[in-house]
């Protein structure tokens, strides 16, 4: 029997992308080529809010500046119904998204899907649903990206503090300019 080819799937809002996200992507790309890595940008339908200050287009642009050749798709939040039915709908949408992305690839049926994340909490739900996971612990103190969150970055932006060191220097000005423009409009509503 042939060995299965691993397909790493990383799901996140990346609002904005930060060095913790980069660390996870780099770890996955040590295990598989870019063609076997899929980034799913979540909350693609989220309305502008403090938590969702960056559009799907913004977030895609930030990630593309860091990883120009990885596969990126988007996934909407499911908000109608109970939390349980929303989770079921979201998982169904995720499965359909992955299958449609794999469709037509000659080795599609032999791909072993592994969900990856920066903490166990981020993927425990996938494990409970029977999926294979791999955690690249970004909180272990072994390198850049530990204890960084998009919430902390948004707080720094609102407070006028630097985000250098939390966000890759290649996208700092893009993130700051985009946030500042949106924040000025948002806070004056």
What pLDDT score was predicted for residue 92? 82
Q: Are strands 71-74 and 37-41 parallel, antiparallel or unpaired?
A: parallel
Residues 42-78 have pLDDT tens digits of 888 888 888 899 999 999 999 999 999 999 999 888 7
Which residues have C-beta within 8 Å of that of residue 83, sequence separation ≥ 6?
A: none
Partners of 9 in beta bridges: 38, 115
The pTM is what?
0.87
Candidates 1.10.3080.10, 3.40.50.2300, 3.90.700.10, 3.40.50.620; CATH matching 5-187: 3.40.50.620
Structural domain spans, the chain? 5-187
What pLDDT score was predicted for residue 84? 66
What pLDDT score was predicted for residue 107? 59
Chain centre to alpha carbon of residue 50? 18
C-alpha 6/C-alpha 20 separation (Å) is: 22
- Which stretches of the chain drop beneath a pLDDT of 50? 1-2
What pLDDT score was predicted for residue 37? 93
What pLDDT score was predicted for residue 146? 61
- HSE (CB half, 13 Å, CA atoms) of 35? 6
């Amino acid at each position: 029997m042939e060995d299965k080819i691993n397909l790493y799937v990383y799901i996140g809002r990346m609002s904005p992308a930060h060095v913790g996200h980069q660390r996870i992507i780099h770890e996955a790309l040590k295990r598989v080529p870019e063609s076997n890595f899929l980034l799913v940008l979540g909350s693609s339908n989220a309305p502008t809010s403090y938590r969702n200050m960056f559009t799907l287009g913004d977030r895609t642009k930030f990630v593309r500046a860091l990883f120009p050749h990885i596969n990126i798709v988007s996934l909407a939040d499911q908000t109608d119904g109970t939390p349980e039915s929303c989770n079921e709908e979201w998982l169904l949408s995720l499965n359909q998204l992955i299958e449609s992305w794999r469709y037509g690839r000659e080795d599609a049926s032999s791909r072993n899907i592994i969900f990856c994340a920066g903490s166990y909490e981020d993927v425990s739900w996938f494990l409970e649903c029977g999926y294979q996971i791999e955690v690249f612990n970004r909180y272990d103190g072994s390198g850049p990206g530990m204890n960084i969150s998009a919430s902390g970055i948004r707080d720094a932006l609102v407070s006028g503090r630097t985000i250098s060191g939390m966000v890759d220097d290649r996208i700092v000005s893009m993130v700051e300019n985009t946030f500042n423009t949106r924040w000025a409009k948002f806070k004056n509503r």
